[in-house]
Amino acid sequence: MTGGRPLEGRRALVTGASKGIGRATATALARAGAAVAVGCSAHRDSADELVAALRAEHGVDAVTLAADLTDTAAAGAIVDQAVQALGGVDIVVNNAGITRDNLAVRLGDREWDEVIAVDLTAAFHICRAALRPMLRQRFGRIVNVSSVAGVIGNPGQANYSSAKAGLIGLTKSLAREVGSRDITVNAVAPGFIETEMTTSLSNAVRTAAVATIPKGRFGTVEEVASAILFLALPESGYITGHVLHVDGGLAA
């Protein structure tokens, strides 16, 4: 591996990579030299456009992999597809997620089930499938994208907060299981980040949110992607079971 491209020869799968944090992460990994499987459940055109850009701008192998992550079989299968397309998988970033916000007393069963299925259950199936080749090769980097909501909770997001807290528990358990095989499992917990999800907030809500953040602003997707990249680098090999907050001090 060279200094400018520390992930040269590595192969990464990033779910929910057609936009937002996932897109920025796929770009950061490719810039560092990794081949990238761009996972998406919708926005196939955006995913294909990103794949073309990764190939042209960073000279890496890249492929689009579409999967309905509410289907547990499809969630596991996307790992096998990445292995077939790239020749293996060394890095997995579980970024795909959805929200179905409502106060708990009004939260329907479907709103609960859908969020848990995509944000937590799919991540488990992807981790389980990825660990098989990682254990054989005695190397792997898994990064689960949790949320500050999974650390401190958030009103109106009982389903989302529960799923993201579950991701933290999954991360810590897996880290203990596979650490001896040079497989690290970590999480990042973003706070308020400038994405499509937050741009729809009213000015009043944004102002109130910023007032709670010590840094005094929303974060960028590139800042989250940099944290994920850090956890995938060779220099981070002794970090596992950790939750890296990228929240401007919100949960401090």
Is the separation of the CB atoms in 25 and 14 below 8 Å? yes
Give catalytic residues, as residue numbers: 160
What is d(CA 63, CA 171) in angstroms, rounded to the nearest whole number?
Answer: 26
What is d(CA 188, CA 95) in angstroms, rounded to the nearest whole number?
Answer: 10
CA-wise closest residue to 216 among 251, 189, 245, 250: 250
Q: Retrieve residue 39's tokens.
A: 């996972």
What is d(CA 149, CA 164) in angstroms, rounded to the nearest whole number?
Answer: 7
Residue type at 143? V
